[in-house]
Structures are given as C-alpha cells and as structure tokens.
Structure 1
Amino acid sequence: MTAFRYFTATTLDGFLADDDDNLDWLLSQPIDESGPMNHTDFIADVGALVMGATTYRWLLDHEVTAGRPWPYSVPTFLFTHRDDAAVSQTIRVVSGDPRDLRAQIVSAAGDRDVWVVGGGDLAAQFADAGMLDEILVSIAPVTLGSGRPLFTAAYDLTLTSVERNSAFVCARYDVVGPRRAGVGPGDVGSGALSPG
C-alpha cells in the first residue's frame, strides 16, 4: 500500500530554512551518504513527489538554473497558487485540497510511496487531509531562531526509531493525529512530567 512520507532535515529548533530560504546550515553539516536514513535508500521506494512552490523555486534557483536538469524522474505534483511553469514533463502543476488529488497521486506512485518533499505547511495540509503516514527527519546541531517551520500544525506523533548519521539525529515518527489540548499519545497521568 502506498504511504505518504515527509522526509526532510531540520535545525534543532525546528526550521527547514532561514528567513531568506537559505540552506547553508544544512549544506555545511557532515553526513554519511550511505548511513542511516540516507537519501539514496529513501528515494528507491518513492514513486511520486509532492512539493510546494517555495521548495520548487529553491530547486529551480539552486539546481536547474545552475545548469543541471530537473533532479527527479518520478511524477511530481507541484502545489501552488502562483503562476509557476513546469520545467519538466514529469511535473504537474496543481492547487487545492490534497484529498481531491489523492487518487491521481497514488496512481502516479504505482506500488511505491509518495514523498512529501515540503515545505512544512504543505506537509501539515497533507496531515490534515489524512494523507501523511510518517515523518522522517534528520535533525542538525544548529539553531536559527526563525525561518521556515518544519511543520505548521499541532499533531501527535509516535517515535518508531532513532539513529545517528554523522552530525544528524535521524528520527522516524508515525503520524498519530491532530493534537488535542492536554492529551498526548500516552495520555496524561501515567508518570508524565509535570511543571514545578
């Protein structure tokens, strides 16, 4: 069955990029390209991508305009309200509620998974649509103080694994559901920490 998986990296304080969409904090970190939660192993199970306009424009500015081709051969659904043009025949420019496009996205993925590339607001929209199964996040040893958030909604998650890849803490979470104030996945009153 096709799973929707948000695979990304974040700063320790929960930002994908700084206020100027700069990723220097990420690109300067040591990583083992064949280590835990590496991109090559992850992408092998991916049959389709979904991304937002900011992520798309970052790729255009840093990959395509640098003379490299569009980096993905699998179908890409670009969610945008802007007048963005597709730079590859594999890109479909779409807008609206992810639920309305679920059948198309799953069909495009075939028997493989869907990578919710980002950003954090699009990942939250997919979660709100019941279309986010797992979050895989590599946490870098750096803080930014502000920037593009990792996720823009309140959700409970279940940690399923944690590993180290050079500078990164690599964590996998199952998405439980929207967060209800005062209630967590393990419920309160079972030895949970209390203030004071």
Structure 2
Amino acid sequence: MTRMVFFTASTLDGFIATEDHSLDWLLSRHIDHDGPGGGSAFMSRIGAAAMGASTYQWVLDHAGVDKWEYTFPCWVFTHRDGMPVAQGPDGPGDIRFTQDDVRTVYAEMAEAAGDRELWMIGGGDLAGQFADHGLLDELIVSLAPVTIGAGKPLLPRHLELELTDLTRNGEFAIVAYRVKPPVTPDR
C-alpha cells in the first residue's frame, strides 16, 4: 500500500522557513545524512515526490538548475508560468508541474512509485492539503535547536499524531509520527 511521508526539518517553534523562504537557520547546522534519521536511508524508499513552487524554486536557487539530484518523478504544485525544468546528470529531471487537486496527483504519484513511498518534500500548507484528504501517513521531522519567532509553519492545520520514533542526530532531535485518521462524531 502506498504511503506518503512528510520528511522535513523544522525550528523548535514549528517553522520550516522564514517568511522570505530562507533556510539559513538549517544550513548553519550539521546533520549526518547517513546517521540515525538522516536522509540517505529515507531516500532509498522513495518512488515519487511532491513539493510546492516555493520549495522547488529554493532548490533551484541553492543547488542550481543543472544540479537536480532526484531520480524519481516530482510533482510541483504551482500557479506560476514559465518555471524552469531542472536538469540532472542525464538530462531534464522528471518534473511535472501541476495545478490539479492533491487527490488526483496522489493517484498519479502512487502509480509512478509502484511499491515505494511518496515524499512530501516541502510546503507545510501543501502537506496539510494531503492530510485533509487522509493522504498523509507519516511525519518525520528533524527539529533544529533554534527558534525564529515567525515564518512558514510546519503544518498549519490541526492533526492528531502518534509518536512512533525519537532519535538524535548531532544537534537535531529526529521525531517520527504516524498521522491518525480524523475522528468523526457518531450520527
């Protein structure tokens, strides 16, 4: 069965970026990508990904449009026209710009991923849209030892979560949660 995981980093006060989309608070700290809760093991499980336009633009701005490293298809939710297609070592990345409903895109992603998991890369509101439809299964959050007071929230929604794992990687606490299904009142 397909699972979608929001694998991200957050400040201790619950922001994934500053108001102007800066991640300087994150990039100034070290995390061992091969260590516990690091990205290397996680990436081996991924078959498709989704992100918002701001996250996609941030990746292009910081890695370069010609340094796309993901080998799986990636859906970018955007209303912007003319966004560049990232280039990998073997040519254009498999970037699919969309304005479709998250349920439609989830079905496309699941088909493309086969028996692998789906990665919700970035955009707390976008992750919340998947959660609103019961399509977000897990959160894995690397909590940085910093607060920024305001910014782009991790998940601007009410969700009920169940702690499934807690580990340490350098300065970060890596926390994994299962997303509980919404409780509906009996009628």
- Give the structure-1-normalised TM-score: 0.86
Aligned to 1:106: 110
Q: Does 1:43 align with 2:47?
A: no
Q: CA–CA distance in 1 between the matches of 2:123 and 2:106?
A: 18
Q: CA–CA distance in 2 between the matches of 1:151 and 1:179?
A: 18
Distance 1:179-1:15 versus aligned 2 partners, 3 A rule: farther
Alpha-carbon displacement from aligned partner over 1:117-158 (angstroms, at most 9, x marks no partner) = 011011000101211000000000000000111011111100
Aligned to 2:131: 127
TM-superposed CA distance for 1:46, in Å, is: 0.1
Q: CA–CA distance in 2 between the matches of 1:179 and 1:56?
A: 33
Aligned to 2:76: 78
SS state of the match for residue 21, structure 2?
coil
Q: Does 1:136 align with 2:140?
A: yes
TM-superposed CA distance for 1:35, in Å, is: 1.3
Aligned to 2:89: none
Identical pairs, percent: 48
Letter in 1 for 2:168: R
Between 117-126 and 27-36, the greater mean CA deviation after superposition:
27-36
Q: CA–CA distance in 2 between the matches of 1:89 and 1:22?
A: 24
Aligned to 1:152: 156
Letter in 2 for 1:104: E
Distance 1:178-1:146 versus aligned 2 partners, 3 A rule: farther
Q: CA–CA distance in 2 between the matches of 1:60 and 1:178?
A: 36
Aligned to 2:19: 19
Alpha-carbon displacement from aligned partner over 1:9-54 (angstroms, at most 9, x marks no partner) = 0000000111221111101112223211111100000000100011
SS state of the match for residue 173, structure 1?
strand
Q: CA–CA distance in 2 between the matches of 1:165 and 1:30?
A: 9
SS state of the match for residue 177, structure 1?
coil
Task: Tell me if the contact between 1:48 and 1:105 (Cα under 8 Å) persists in the aligned partners.
Answer: yes
Higher CA-based Rg: 1
Structure 2 gaps of 5+ residues are 87-91
Distance 1:19-1:139 versus aligned 2 partners, 3 A rule: same
Alpha-carbon displacement from aligned partner over 1:70-117 (angstroms, at most 9, x marks no partner) = 121110011111113433340011113111222211011111000000
Between 159-168 and 28-37, the greater mean CA deviation after superposition:
28-37
How many residue pairs end up in the alignment? 178
Q: CA–CA distance in 2 between the matches of 1:103 and 1:30?
A: 35
SS state of the match for residue 115, structure 2?
coil
Between 30-39 and 143-152, the greater mean CA deviation after superposition:
30-39
Task: Tell me if the contact between 1:156 and 1:176 (Cα under 8 Å) persists in the aligned partners.
Answer: yes
SS state of the match for residue 172, structure 1?
strand
